[in-house]
A and B are shown apart, each in its own frame.
Chain A
């Protein structure tokens, strides 16, 4: 199967600090990776699309300087929440796409900013 992992699974940080979340495709090379955020009892909202070796494409309303995305290899993308504030607390989920159309999702990272 196609497995996507995320690390950490949960993180608590103080306001003003930066947090890095990793997304890895374990058994396939991902053409594209996507980052989503999900608020409680709400659906997923796409934040950005990440292609290996190129700059991420951010959705309207997502601050690219706050949510830094690096796609260093075909199996790893990272999301860094810079100068995190309580309103950034959310569930962050990544997905990875192979050459086909299907996307495979990671287990998510719960971020709590105090």
Chain B
């Protein structure tokens, strides 16, 4: 059974710092991995999707990498801003149904 873990559970950084959020999964046979952002009381915003054949994806200040062999993905946020404060969730799709298994999330606070 696939398990997705995210560390750290919470992170507080000053504005401008570069930071890395970690996501690990126990079963490397994934179809894809997605990173999401969730603001309090809101739904999820898709940030990046990495196909199983890809190693990384970039969008603006965000870069996500995928290493299936080690069961890890990282989300790199460059030059963090207070507006980046949110909970970041990673999720793995395990089969052709594309059902997502979510990690528990990292709550990020970027201090002005």
Interface residues of A (CB under 8 A from B): 4, 6, 32, 34, 42-46, 49, 57, 91, 93, 95, 97, 101-108, 110
Interface residues of B (CB under 8 A from A): 31-32, 34, 36, 41-46, 49, 51, 89, 91, 93, 97-105
- The distance from the CB of B37 to the nearest CB of chain A, in whole angstroms, is 10
Q: Which applies to chain A's interface (DSSP): helix, strand, loop or mixed? A: strand
B41 contacts which of A45, A97, A110 (Cβ < 8 Å)? A110
- The distance from the CB of B11 to the nearest CB of chain A, in whole angstroms, is 15
- Is A107 a contact of B42 with CB atoms below 8 Å? yes
Q: Which applies to chain B's interface (DSSP): helix, strand, loop or mixed? A: strand
The total of Cβ contacts below 8 Å across the A-B interface reads: 56
10 smallest A-B Cβ distances: which pairs?
Answer: A105-B44, A107-B43, A43-B102, A108-B43, A105-B43, A43-B104, A44-B102, A102-B49, A101-B32, A106-B43
In whole angstroms, what is the CA distance A16 to B87 when docked? 34
Interfacial chain B residues near A105, Cβ < 8 Å? 36, 43-46
19 contacts between A and B (CB under 8 A): A32-B97, A32-B98, A34-B100, A42-B104, A43-B102, A43-B103, A43-B105, A44-B91, A45-B102, A46-B100, A46-B101, A49-B97, A95-B100, A101-B31, A101-B32, A102-B46, A103-B100, A108-B41, A108-B42
